[in-house]
Structure 1
Amino acid sequence: FRTLGCYPLTGAVESTADTLPEVIQEMLLTTTSERQGRVIDHDSSGSMEKKKMEGYF
């Protein structure tokens, strides 16, 4: 995975990179957000983005 955190809540992104240069290259070329798979963001009433806008953080 190229994300850290509590799988599956953080919605880990699979990676085939085996070396640091491959990880860096993957990060430079990726078009997806690290947070796109977060489970909580798929529940509109409890999404992290909504909580941020409401001042929760």
Structure 2
Amino acid sequence: WTELDIWQYIHLEGIEIVPLYFSAPRPTVKRDGLILMVDDDRFPLRPGETPEMRSVRFRTLGCYPLTGAVESEAKTLPEVIQEMLLTTTSERQGRAIDHDQAA
């Protein structure tokens, strides 16, 4: 199954999903090529980092704070599906754990 297949299935079956999959203004920082959400005190800011509000959503959810967001305006399931029809990147691009630092 592709990510698009999953979203189409969710839409067809009327499955409810958590709000993080939809775009909303969220406090974020850009770090190591990822957009990370700064939503509580567990996220230590590095020197020079200041949270910035961005319209983002998550394409995958995982261990905090290893999952990056993507800039998006997709606020509904049909908008997410439309976005998936146009995207050229994998949902795994936002997973810090998938980036091998030794490579």
Report TM bin, short chain: 0.5 to 0.7
CA-CA distance at 1:7 after TM superposition? 4.5
Structure 1, unaligned runs of 5 or more: 46-57
Which residue, 82, 86, 97 being the options, matches 1:25?
82
**Cα offsets for 1:5-55 (capped at 9, x unmatched):** 23530222232111111010001111111111322214136xxxxxxxxxx
Moved over 3 A (4+): none
* Structure (1 or 2) with the greater helix fraction: 1
Q: How many residues align?
A: 45
Structure 2, unaligned runs of 5 or more: 1-56
* Structure (1 or 2) with the greater strand fraction: 2
| Contact persistence 1:11–1:35 (CA under 8 A) | no
2:68 paired with 1:6: no
- The separation in 2 between residues aligned to 1:6 and 1:14, in whole angstroms, is 20
- The separation in 1 between residues aligned to 2:85 and 2:76, in whole angstroms, is 14
- Provide TM-score, normalisation by structure 1: 0.55
Counterpart of 1:16? 73
SS of residue in 2 equivalent to 1:44: coil
Highest Rg: 1 or 2? 2
